[in-house]
Structure 1
């Protein structure tokens, strides 16, 4: 870009510690964008995000506060439709970038817009969002996309969904992959013996799945596949993460399939505990029916953890040849894949090496550069 472009970043959705992958996206992308020449960034944040003084939107870049509590969905929507265009105009932004799939609609006014769409769960996997949230996304995501000069999609699979379900011109959608950041080498991960004792993991090989407890993540399929493995060879499946209303269904499924003693749902764990599980597990399996990107697949590869994942949506795009693929609707396929991972030392070594090489091709610096190019295109460059 030949002249500095002022970009207002729409972060009114963000509640620190409660926004999951979209918070990671903001925290990792902002410093990299700020380091690029020719960009001036202003973050538009909610009141709660403004209280996080150590966050990049309060230190690395200038920020302005929208008077909303993003925990209240109605305030979030009002903030995007009313306050984001107003504040973006006030700071004289050339462009507004909304980072969380929703944003100001056509009638909201303000500067030209770019929107990052992470997935189209509401259309492809509507069971992913419970209640009114699903209905809201069905209205808000298409409105934001249609009001944007450019759309950024996390994957080619998501781009294809945006074109198919919203009718967007494919030439207006840029594919910009995400990345992952590993902890430093001296990060104090919880030792395996402590984890096994505290979480009741016993002595079996550990099969890790960083899949949220929601229907489209297909943890049921993983439980069904586990039941097909003879008990003497059966690993212990660990599915950490926050509790959802779907967890009771999963617990019942484990009991019905006779594998409740070999399944653990330890709930939300500290970063040290999660890193300890990454280091302790024999393999990672991600059986989701639909993902806009599938970050856990990349996280496993980056750590040298052999893995397998669904052959649907974006997951083959992320995995390349560095993970085994299976049909998530076929528990027998999942079972045979898991058994291969557990029993074949040479296979795990190959996947470990291939995963590290594959993960090295993804970086937040690349994500930032390609995002900046989308800005340029949006402004006619």
Structure 2
């Protein structure tokens, strides 16, 4: 089976979780017998010599700069079908929720849908991007023989908002890969001094500073905690337009000194924060999968997360669940995590066990099974 992987969307270093998905999945797919992969990449991805789509598998280049949304769309609707035909591929797999539409032609298609933010939390995508997702995602889904969803929650969303037959949707969970033991890790002492964390317990949240991630809820929950037991909240990640509103919220609630937005941090710093934090809290209103929840479990970090969308599906009984719209519920979960050592130990152990059930090898096998179903169906 020769499968063309639609990676036209991928700009190395700028595509977030969808880049991780491609980098982790492709090498595992390449190891499966009877599967030949051809990566269709844009000009910027083609220049990334260390990437698995350059060398590990055959690749062809679409003349597209994916930073330009119009070129990205044109690449998927025109170049991907054209190059798939040229390489005599049996199937096209689009990895980023969008792909060739019904009338684009070319081989049969499979599309991975990571989430339906544009429908469930429309504030996550606004302007032309939001409008584009409302058109492109349903078009790709309707043109595909099979749809891969990151979670059963996303499967339900695709059924509800696009009207897809659930029998055409394969739920294939994601996974996470920890850095090697030899990877550098910044010490707790250095991080406390450089980031101004003082001596308080550290509460880590790998939530992007966007409205639907509900960092406001965390800030409000901190304000409910007695000052003598209040941890310092660290939310690393790239700066967004929403960050100013979050800082203002922290000042209004009187907890500005307990909230730190250090911006983008190198991997060594992030791993250092994972090791030193007392707990990880993820208050998002909506996630297609909720990878930070799995990342915490894989590191043995006790955590709490929202009881919405896919997050309970990922966490199972290995994290405390709370109502993200109820500040008191978030605060109560934080208090339990900080005060109960036995609870933290239990969650850490159950998290490690549960994280072990997620693997990229399993993701690859289930993805290949979806390919087979696509070719077997009319």
Q: State the TM bucket, normalised to the shorter chain.
A: over 0.9
Q: Match of 2:183?
A: 187
Q: Match of 1:12?
A: 8
1:302 aligns with 2:328: no
1:22 aligns with 2:18: yes
Q: Match of 1:148?
A: 144
1:93 aligns with 2:97: no
1:321 aligns with 2:321: no
Alpha-carbon distance in 1 for matches of 2:374, 2:184: 43
Alignment of 1:273-352 (within 5 A): 273-352=269-348
Pick which of 190-199 and 323-332 moved more: 190-199
Give the SS at the match of 2:40: strand
Alpha-carbon distance in 2 for matches of 1:63, 1:200: 46
Question: Alignment partner for residue 68 of structure 2, among 69, 72, 92?
Answer: 72
1:37 aligns with 2:33: yes
Could you list the runs of 5+ residues in structure 1 that have no partner in the other structure? Answer: none
Instruction: Kindly provide the CA deviation profile for residues 269-321 of structure 1, in whole angstroms up to 9, marking residues without a partner as x.
Output: 10111101000100000000000000000000000000000001000000000
Q: What's the CA shift for 1:366?
A: 0.0
Q: Match of 2:367?
A: 371
Alpha-carbon distance in 1 for matches of 2:191, 2:161: 44
Alpha-carbon distance in 2 for matches of 1:178, 1:98: 16
Runs of 4+ residues deviating >6 angstroms:
none
Question: Alignment partner for residue 169 of structure 2, among 152, 173, 181?
Answer: 173
Give the SS at the match of 1:220: helix
Could you list the runs of 5+ residues in structure 2 that have no partner in the other structure? Answer: none
Give the SS at the match of 1:106: coil
Q: What's the CA shift for 1:192?
A: 0.8
Alpha-carbon distance in 1 for matches of 2:192, 2:68: 38
Q: Match of 2:353?
A: 357
Question: Alignment partner for residue 214 of structure 2, among 211, 215, 218?
Answer: 218
Alpha-carbon distance in 2 for matches of 1:153, 1:44: 21
Alpha-carbon distance in 2 for matches of 1:331, 1:130: 26
Question: Alignment partner for residue 207 of structure 1, among 192, 198, 203?
Answer: 203
Alignment of 1:230-269 (within 5 A): 230-269=226-265
Q: Match of 1:111?
A: 107
Q: What's the CA shift for 1:131?
A: 2.0
Q: What's the CA shift for 1:201?
A: 1.2
Q: How many residues were matched structurally? A: 377
Question: Alignment partner for residue 50 of structure 1, among 41, 46, 49?
Answer: 46
Q: What's the CA shift for 1:45?
A: 0.3
Give the SS at the match of 1:108: coil
Instruction: Kindly provide the CA deviation profile for residues 156-190 of structure 1, in whole angstroms up to 9, marking residues without a partner as x.
Output: 00000000100001000000000000011222111
Alpha-carbon distance in 2 for matches of 1:192, 1:51: 37
After superposition, the CA RMSD in angstroms is 0.6
Give the SS at the match of 1:71: coil
Alpha-carbon distance in 2 for matches of 1:119, 1:288: 13
Q: What's the CA shift for 1:367?
A: 0.0
